[in-house]
Amino acid sequence: MRLEGSCHCGAVRFSLTSRHPVPYQRCYCSICRKTQGGGGYAINLGGEADSLDVSGRSHIRTFHAVMHEEEDARSEAERSFCGQCGTALWLWDKRWPELIHPFASAIDTELPVPPETTHIMLASKANWVEPSIGKNDKTFDGYPEEAIAAWHQRLGLEDGDDD
Ligand SMILES: [Zn+2]
Ligand SMILES: [Zn+2]
């Protein structure tokens, strides 16, 4: 499906094609929490990098998160945000250049409601965050076994090539 997104102030607008648009995966790591996840977690979607259209690109700023474990080490992932209002937009990683991961919070298109949720990086969550874990949800202290594409395939929710 085609996803439309924007930052809060409207300086940046974008759209992209996503076969994996279900906002099912909550990441509780400190990077997601501080940069994007006010409720304790952030949600990334799976999209196709070469389908990304952006207006207001000059307002975009990027950074590579500091990995606290190893001093001075930076994440390979490049995070983009609006330099005017600070809205987190998407994550892109040169190790998987064909993929792009927009934050669900920046998407304006109505997204499918996830039938189950995966909770990841729970070992890094803040003490005050109480994850709401449903009956079929999966939980991981670190990264999950299942990639975003595989989750959609297992549940029959991969979007077709209709656009
Ligand atoms: Zn903005
Ligand atoms: Zn995270």
99-126 pLDDT, tens digit per residue, is 999 999 999 999 999 999 999 999 999 9
Query: Ligand 2 centroid to 35 CA: how many Å?
Result: 9
Q: How far is the CA of 96 from the centre of ligand 2 (A)?
A: 17
Quick check: pTM over 0.85? yes
Pair 91, 16: CB distance under 8 Å: no
User: What is the structure's pLDDT at 144?
Assistant: 92
Please report the pLDDT score of residue 159 as a whole number: 87
Q: Residue 162 has what pLDDT?
A: 52
50: which DSSP letter? G
Q: Minimum-distance ligand to the CA of 60?
A: 1
From the CA of 11, the nearest ligand is: 1
Which residues of the chain, if any, have pLDDT below 70?
Answer: 68-70, 161-163
Which residues place a Cβ less than 5 A from the ion ligand 1?
Answer: 7, 9, 11, 82, 84-85
The structure tokens listed for 21 are: 């648009």
Ligand found nearest the CA of 140: 2
Ligand nearest to the CA of 89: 1
Q: How close is the Cα of 162 to the center of ligand 2, in Å?
A: 31
- Three-state SS at 25: strand
What's the rounded Cα separation, in Å, for the pair 61 and 45? 20
Distance from the alpha carbon of residue 53 to the mean position of ligand 2, in angstroms: 25
Q: What per-residue confidence (pLDDT) applies to 69?
A: 64
